[in-house]
């Protein structure tokens, strides 16, 4: 069966998202280059096989048209027969990706019931048809659908591209419900026990028909309900029809007697028993139509148009010169937006592509070209035109060759090495004459002290003009005085020709004899306990000079200040250097030393003595009032500050300021803060006035506190 391709975008006014949006990780398909041809519609027919089938989207195809027909519900084979429900017919366009795999499931027709057979289930059709019950209930038709994921990997309804629902199975007196956009209810039996199953809606499965005995089941996502039946009694053989398959399944017919109700209809988004209906996933396609099938043949038909690739022809190059050419060709876009470029190469090299150009989207031949530069003269180049349309289809215009023009015969530049000028001790200017003879040319001088291996080169500037004699010169610096140098002038044409001039020489001026610096060691200043400033005078005698001071406790010195530079003058310069870390009260020797290229001069030895370190302070002592004065006893008090040195203290006491008696010595420590001290007296005379004072003693001196008195009672 051939199905006519229909363009749904024009009908709906909106673009449909590609099927690849429902599948993660889909790789890009390889693109085959199709020959020029008229676009043709290709149709692929899928019939019922009882299993899943696949369809791979061809290269260049981005839209397909799908027609799907669901399975019919089984009839009851009696006279007259009771028909099963018809399957749905769904047509839709959908966007796809080249190389994408779609999974095709063609629903089966429900199995017909025969009233003379034994009690049992009557199978529903493949892909969701519900089973009929007993001898009087037929199986529901299975749904036909296209998916982006195999049913073996997932039963998720989100993978459905579209679904054509199956028809409901018939019972002995109730017809099965047919499928369309929503399912129809099945016919009911002659008595209340045989109610028909209900068709599915867009949002839920159909409810089961009511009956006695083994009740029917409701339709569910993707599956129709099973018919009910009565296992024993007067109407033991009566059974309901199975629901049709769909996005939501139709309900099963209720059982009760041979006149039980038929299966319910399905729904356009569900697969299930009973009367099924259809569904188109809005993410990937737009429904073209929903209808009810009359052929009784479930099937899926996919049709598509393979776009015609562009046509391209490479034509001869034009404007071929020594280093450039214009590549030409002809492109027919065949109605699709198309770009082009040229690839060009020489033997043994990789192709280079020009920038892409726009060939438009017409259906007529269009001349295209691209100019290339930077080619080599006298060289054969291969090139071809490549055109690519928006679907990724390409056309190769075929290989063509051209050969660039040969470079004209060119005379080498002529060169004359001139005399050096401005020769000094460390520099000179090299001179010469160059005639480029018509080619852009640069030049340089080679120089060195060995005429057979000059070794050094100057910069290589370009000549301002490619014609005529031109005087050139370049300066040299950093040369050695009194040295013979050899040099020559070289010229380099951009055609690869090089001319080397004759070798000449010059001798730099000899360096004058340099006098060593003059040095005077002066008196030191700012002398302290641990440092001072060393002074002196240096005359560099016109050469760069450095100086330092040697110093130490003897004439062997042993220490030096850092080396310091002086400018190359011929006058006296006063120079100083600070020294630190010296020992107090110590005599130091020092001298000034200066060096230039003429030699080293050492100044006279001089001395200075650092200041002596101050004597550490004696302790502080103060006498406080006595306490606890009795008839023969008292306690003397005072305060002592050791001022950082180990200190002892004692009290002097007596009846006069000559005292005459002392307490035992005790330690006041070696701190730097005042410390209270005391000493208890006994054996004193009654009614007697006593004088006393505290005395602090350290290695740094003795300090006496003030005299105080107390009187015994």
pLDDT of residue 188: 40
pLDDT at 113 over 70: yes
**Residue 668 domain boundaries:** 620-711
For tokens 């259906």, name the residue. 363
pLDDT of residue 225: 46
For the chain, what is the domain count?
Answer: 5
pLDDT of residue 363: 87
pLDDT of residue 165: 81
pLDDT digits (tens, 9 = 90+) for 328-349: 999 999 989 999 999 999 998 8
pLDDT at 398 over 70: yes
Alpha helices in 45-196 (DSSP H): none
**Residue range 676-700: mean pLDDT, rounded:** 96
Q: Which residue has the higher pLDDT, 442 or 63?
A: 442
Query: Does one domain contain both 118 and 144?
Result: yes
Does some domain include residue 1?
A: no
Structure tokens at 643: 């001022």
Report residue 67's pLDDT band, with 50, 70 and 90 as the boundaries. very high
Its pTM stands at: 0.47
Q: How far apart are CA 91 and CA 85, in angstroms?
A: 20
Dihedrals phi, psi of 158, to nearest 5 degrees: -65, -20
Q: How far apart are CA 248 and CA 202, in angstroms?
A: 7
Of 62, 57, 30, 33, residue with least CA distance to 44: 57
Does some domain include residue 663?
A: yes
Query: Does one domain contain both 546 and 490?
Result: no
**Helix, coil or strand: residue 190:** coil
Q: Which of 92-101, 412-421, 535-544, 650-659 has the lowest average pLDDT?
A: 92-101
pLDDT of residue 278: 60
Count Cβ neighbours within 10 Å for each residue of 166-196 and write b for 16 or more, e otherwise.
bbbbbbbbbbbbbbbbbbbbbbbbebebbbb
pLDDT at 318 over 70: yes
CA angle 49-53-56, nearest 5°?
Answer: 150
**Residue range 54-68: mean pLDDT, rounded:** 91
Does some domain include residue 20?
A: no
Does some domain include residue 29?
A: no
Query: Does one domain contain both 221 and 208?
Result: yes
Using CA atoms, how far residue 469 sits from 358, 440, 458, in Å, is 51, 13, 21
Which of residues 385, 404, 423 is at a domain's end?
404
Does some domain include residue 16?
A: no
Which of residues 508, 538, 568 is at a domain's end?
508
Q: Which of 204-208, 303-307, 475-479, 481-485 has the lowest average pLDDT?
A: 204-208
Does some domain include residue 259?
A: yes
pLDDT at 592 over 60: yes
Query: Does one domain contain both 661 and 546?
Result: no
Q: How would DSSP label each residue in 404-422?
A: PPPPPP-PPPEEEE---BS
Q: 285: Cβ–Cβ under 8 A, 6 or more apart, which residues?
A: 8, 16, 19, 66, 92, 93, 94, 95, 161, 162
Structure tokens at 610: 């650092």
Query: Does one domain contain both 419 and 490?
Result: yes
How would you list the strands of the sheet with 41-47, edge to edge?
Answer: 41-47, 299-305, 63-69, 88-95, 285-292
Q: How would DSSP label each residue in 273-319?
A: SSB---EE-TTTEEEEEEEE--S---EEEEEEEPPPPPEEEEEEEES
For tokens 């005529």, name the residue. 468
Q: 658: Cβ–Cβ under 8 A, 6 or more apart, which residues?
A: none
DSSP at 437: T
Structure tokens at 17: 């998202």
Number of other residues whose CB lies within 10 A of the CB of residue 271: 41
Q: 689: Cβ–Cβ under 8 A, 6 or more apart, which residues?
A: 655, 709, 710, 711
Of 466, 345, 490, residue with least CA distance to 408: 466
Query: Does one domain contain both 255 and 125?
Result: yes
pLDDT of residue 129: 74
Q: Which of 108-117, 390-399, 587-596, 624-633 has the lowest average pLDDT?
A: 108-117
pLDDT of residue 379: 95
Report residue 2's pLDDT band, with 50, 70 and 90 as the boundaries. very low
Q: How would DSSP label each residue in 668-687?
A: EES-SS-EEEEEEE-SPPTT
Query: Does one domain contain both 360 and 256?
Result: no
Report the chain's mean pLDDT, rounded to a whole number.
Answer: 82
pLDDT of residue 670: 95
Q: What percent of the chain has pLDDT over 90?
A: 58
pLDDT at 24 over 70: no
Contact between 144 and 164 (Cβ < 8 Å): yes
pLDDT at 221 over 70: no
pLDDT of residue 405: 94
**Residue range 502-511: mean pLDDT, rounded:** 95
Q: 181: Cβ–Cβ under 8 A, 6 or more apart, which residues?
A: 88, 202, 268, 277, 278, 290
Does some domain include residue 549?
A: yes
Q: How far apart are CA 648 and CA 258, in angstroms?
A: 132
Q: How far apart are CA 117 and CA 94, in angstroms?
A: 45
pLDDT of residue 240: 47
pLDDT digits (tens, 9 = 90+) for 119-174: 567 787 788 777 777 556 777 788 899 999 998 887 777 788 888 888 777 776 66
Structure tokens at 436: 């480029």
Structure tokens at 458: 């100057």
CATH number at residue 530: 2.60.40.10
Structure tokens at 457: 């080169």
Query: Does one domain contain both 178 and 230?
Result: yes
Q: What percent of the chain has pLDDT over 70?
A: 77
Query: Does one domain contain both 591 and 641?
Result: no
pLDDT of residue 495: 86
Q: Is the peptide bond before 410 cis (omega within 30 degrees of 0)?
A: no
Tell me whether residue 556 is exposed, middle or buried, using C-beta atoms within 10 angstroms of its C-beta: 0 to 12, 13 to 18, 19 or more: exposed
Q: How far apart are CA 686 and CA 688, in angstroms?
A: 5
pLDDT of residue 177: 66
Structure tokens at 482: 């009194």
pLDDT of residue 37: 59
Q: Which residue has the higher pLDDT, 34 or 108?
A: 108
Which of residues 610, 630, 663 is at a domain's end?
610
**Helix, coil or strand: residue 157:** helix
Of 316, 319, 311, residue with least CA distance to 340: 311
Report residue 387's pLDDT band, with 50, 70 and 90 as the boundaries. very high
Query: Does one domain contain both 478 and 601?
Result: no
**Residue range 414-441: mean pLDDT, rounded:** 96
pLDDT digits (tens, 9 = 90+) for 553-586: 999 999 999 999 999 998 999 999 999 999 999 9
Does some domain include residue 628?
A: yes
Query: Does one domain contain both 185 and 272?
Result: yes
**Residue range 213-228: mean pLDDT, rounded:** 50
Q: How far apart are CA 575 and CA 592, in angstroms?
A: 9
Dihedrals phi, psi of 194, to nearest 5 degrees: -115, 50
Contact between 163 and 145 (Cβ < 8 Å): yes
- Mapping DSSP onto H, E and C, the string for 87-115 reads CEEEEEEEECCCCCEEEEECCCCCCCECC
Query: Does one domain contain both 159 and 301?
Result: yes
| Bridge partners (DSSP) listed for residue 110 | none
């Amino acid at each position: 069966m051939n199905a006519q391709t229909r363009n749904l975008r024009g009908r709906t006014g909106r673009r449909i998202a590609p099927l690849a949006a429902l599948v993660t990780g889909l790789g890009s398909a390889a693109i085959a280059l199709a020959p020029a041809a008229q676009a043709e519609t290709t149709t692929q027919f899928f019939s019922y096989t009882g299993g899943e089938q696949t369809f791979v989207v061809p290269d260049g195809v981005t839209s397909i048209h799908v027609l799907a027909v669901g399975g019919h519900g089984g009839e009851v084979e009696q006279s007259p027969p009771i028909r099963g429900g018809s399957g749905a017919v769904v047509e839709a366009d959908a966007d796809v990706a080249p190389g994408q795999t779609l999974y095709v499931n063609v629903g089966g027709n429900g199995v017909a019931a025969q009233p003379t057979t034994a009690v049992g289930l009557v199978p529903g059709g493949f892909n969701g048809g519900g089973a009929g019950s007993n001898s009087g209930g037929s199986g529901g038709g299975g749904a036909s659908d296209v998916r982006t994921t195999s049913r073996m990997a997932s039963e998720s309804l989100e993978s459905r591209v579209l679904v054509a629902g199956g028809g409901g199975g018939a019972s002995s007196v109730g017809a099965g419900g047919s499928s369309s956009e929503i399912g129809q209810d099945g016919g009911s039996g002659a008595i209340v026990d045989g109610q028909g199953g209900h068709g599915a809606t867009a949002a839920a499965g159909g409810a089961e028909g009511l009956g006695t005995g083994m009740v029917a089941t409701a339709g569910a996502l993707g599956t129709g309900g099973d018919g009910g039946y009565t296992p024993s009694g007067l109407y033991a053989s009566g059974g309901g029809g199975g629901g049709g398959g769909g996005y939501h399944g139709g309900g099963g017919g209720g059982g009760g007697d041979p006149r039980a109700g038929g299966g319910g209809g399905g729904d356009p988004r569900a697969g299930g028993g009973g009367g099924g209906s259809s569904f188109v996933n809005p993410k990937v396609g737009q429904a073209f139509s929903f209808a009810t099938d009359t052929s009784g043949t479930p099937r899926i038909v996919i049709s598509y148009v393979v776009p015609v690739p562009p046509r391209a022809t490479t034509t001869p190059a034009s404007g071929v010169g020594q280093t450039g050419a214009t590549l030409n060709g002809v492109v027919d876009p065949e109605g699709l937006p198309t770009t082009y470029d040229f690839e060009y190469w020489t033997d043994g090299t990789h192709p280079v592509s020009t920038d892409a150009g726009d060939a438009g989207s017409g259906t007529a031949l269009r001349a295209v070209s691209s100019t290339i530069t930077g080619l080599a003269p006298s060289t054969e180049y291969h090139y071809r035109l490549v055109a690519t349309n928006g679907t990724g289809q390409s056309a190769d215009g075929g290989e063509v060759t051209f050969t660039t023009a040969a470079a004209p015969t060119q005379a080498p530049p002529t060169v004359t090495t001139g005399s050096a000028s401005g020769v000094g001790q460390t520099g000179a200017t090299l001179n010469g004459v160059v005639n480029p003879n018509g080619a852009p040319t640069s030049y340089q001088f080679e120089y060195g002290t060995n005429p057979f291996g000059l070794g050094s080169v100057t910069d290589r500037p370009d000549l301002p003009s490619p014609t005529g004699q031109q005087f050139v010169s370049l300066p040299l610096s950093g040369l050695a005085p009194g040295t013979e140098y050899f040099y020559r002038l070289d010229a380099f044409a951009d055609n690869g020709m090089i001319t080397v001039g004759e070798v000449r020489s010059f001798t730099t001026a000899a360096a004058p004899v340099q006098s060593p610096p003059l040095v005077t060691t002066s008196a030191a200043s700012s002398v302290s306990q641990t440092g001072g400033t060393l002074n002196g005078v240096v005359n560099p005698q016109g050469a760069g000079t450095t100086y330092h001071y040697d110093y130490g406790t003897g004439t062997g010195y042993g220490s030096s200040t850092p080396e310091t530079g002086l400018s190359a003058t011929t006058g006296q310069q006063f120079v100083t250097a600070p020294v630190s870390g010296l020992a107090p009260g110590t005599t130091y020797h020092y001298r000034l030393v200066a060096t230039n290229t003429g030699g080293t001069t050492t100044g006279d030895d001089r001395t200075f003595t650092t200041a002596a370190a101050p004597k550490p302070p004696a302790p502080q002592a103060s006498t406080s009032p006595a306490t606890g004065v009795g008839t023969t006893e008292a306690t003397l008090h005072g305060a002592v500050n050791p001022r950082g040195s180990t200190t002892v203290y004692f009290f002097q006491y007596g009846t006069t300021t000559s005292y005459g008696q002392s307490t035992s010595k005790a330690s006041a420590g070696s701190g730097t803060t005042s410390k209270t001290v005391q000493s208890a007296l006994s054996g004193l005379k009654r009614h007697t006035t006593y004088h006393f004072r505290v005395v602090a003693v350290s290695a740094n001196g003795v300090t006496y506190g003030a005299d105080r008195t107390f009187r015994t009672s």
